[in-house]
Amino acid sequence: MPYCHIVIALALVEYLVFGYAVGRARKRYGVRAPAVTGHELFERYHRAQVNTLELLIVFLPGMLLFARYVSPIWAAAVGVVFIVGRAWYFRAYVKDPDQRHVGFALSFFAIAVLLAGGLLGAVRALVS
């Protein structure tokens, strides 16, 4: 489980880094709090961070379920795919939102694998 916990911590650190980038963009583009609109580039940073938050809600329990019922090592490996996908998504979305698809697909695929594996593993444990 330590590998899973490290990957979870890295995913959370990544989210904090995204939050820092949003704060810097807020200052750079003159978008005063609490506004979340006002400059397109700021809005891209903000939206990429919010999308990551939306996926973290499913990623974290999915990863823990997969680790418990399937394999902690494989959960960590798939978790790394999620982290890479989120970084790719964030960079692409800020540069050109139309180029975000690969990053989104990587992170969504990782979540789907973790959640499906965790659910199937839990059901299998229940009926055993």
User: Per the structure, how many domains does the chain have?
Assistant: 1
Q: Is residue 107 part of a domain?
A: yes
Of the pLDDT bands very low, low, confident and very high (cuts 50, 70, 90), residue 26 is very high
Q: How far apart are CA 47 and CA 36, in angstroms?
A: 9
Cα torsion angle, 108, 75, 79, 102, sign? negative
pLDDT value at 128 more than 90 = no
Of the pLDDT bands very low, low, confident and very high (cuts 50, 70, 90), residue 108 is very high
Q: How far apart are CA 25 and CA 100, in angstroms?
A: 19
pLDDT digits (tens, 9 = 90+) for 32-62: 999 889 999 999 999 999 999 999 999 999 9
Domain encompassing residue 88: 2-122
| CATH number reported for the structural domain that contains residue 115 in this entry | 1.20.120.550
Q: Is residue 127 part of a domain?
A: no
Q: Is residue 28 part of a domain?
A: yes
Q: Is residue 90 part of a domain?
A: yes
Contact 7, 80 (CB under 8 A): yes
User: What is the length of the chain?
Assistant: 128
Contact 31, 42 (CB under 8 A): yes
Q: Is residue 70 part of a domain?
A: yes
| CA-wise closest residue to 18 among 100, 94, 75 | 94
Question: How many other CB atoms sit within 10 Å of the CB of residue 62?
Answer: 25
Q: How far is residue 115 from each of residues 9, 14, 61, 119, measured CA to CA in Å?
A: 19, 21, 8, 6
Q: Is residue 72 part of a domain?
A: yes
pLDDT digits (tens, 9 = 90+) for 71-104: 999 999 999 999 999 999 999 999 999 999 999 9
pLDDT for residue 82: 98
